Structure 1
Amino acid sequence: MKRQMINPAPVKARHYDQLHFSSATRVGDMIWVSGQVGFDPATGKPGEGMAAQARLAFQNLEGVLKEAGATMADIVEIMTFHIDLRGPDIHEFVKVKDEFLPDRYPSWTGVGVTQLAHPAFLVEVRAVAVAGCGAE
């Protein structure tokens, strides 16, 4: 099997070319997606508040999976990193997560951290998917 690096055009220059990492890596049907944060790739600006950032992070995740030949239904695991894991932000995050992953919930590990890559970021979402496993 060959390793395929997934680097969507809107973020390739920043992630792959400058910071030297792929948005995702696919080997066979397995896809490992790097952490996605709540910023708009078109403007480079983070969303305002947890709900906006979570929505953007999941939209970014969805875009990377599409580029890799998978869907959100193919996600088998997510790991999330939160600046505020115990406060009200986690409830906002779960509401948005459930919009994107409404059933057949994947495994989930949530981790509280003191900082993310940018001071405005509140959450980061990484995922593992198996292409085609979400089809019914």
Structure 2
Amino acid sequence: MVKAIHTEQAPAALGPYSQAIEAGDFLYVSGQIGIDPVSGNVVNGIEGQTKQVLENIKAILQEAGTDFSKAVKFTIYLKSMTDFATINEIYGSYLTEPYPARATIEVSKLPKDVLVEMDVIVYTKA
């Protein structure tokens, strides 16, 4: 069974996709960027955007009845790998061991010209 997850506590999808999809024992959270769900604006700076991305993901996970402790795989897309240490520190503050698997990729452009985007896969039945 496939179930779409949606919360007003995270930004609405910018296109024809769901904030997250629960499929079997897994939750697939779509890429989140640093948009404040209240104002609809992109927050400023790499630190602000990274925190907002993680808060948006947290809200989606809460709506699905789960949390970061069940995350098994993150993908982080960066506009500049020079921001890696900053993002890594903030990202790490949201997680506990055992940490999920992760890939971090530098890309040439992200939606709304943001500096960071993240998606996550969560195992919901552990």
Structures share a fold, TM > 0.5? yes
Aligned length: 126
Q: Which aligned pairs between 1:1-136 and structure 2 lie closer than 5 A?
A: 2-10=1-9, 14-15=12-13, 19-85=15-81, 87=82, 89-119=83-113, 121-133=114-126
Aligned residue for 1:8, secondary structure, equals: coil
Change (3 A) 1:69 1:23: same
Q: 8 Å contact 2:8–2:37 — kept in the other structure?
A: no
Consecutive unaligned residues in structure 1, runs of 5 or more: none
Distance apart, 1:132 and its partner CA: 4.1
Q: 8 Å contact 1:70–1:132 — kept in the other structure?
A: no
Name the TM-score, length of structure 1 as normaliser: 0.86
RMSD of aligned Cα (Å): 1.5
Segments of 4+ in structure 1 off by > 3 A? none
Q: Which protein is bigger by CA-based radius of gyration? A: 1
Consecutive unaligned residues in structure 2, runs of 5 or more: none
Q: What amino acid sits opposite 1:122 in the alignment? A: L
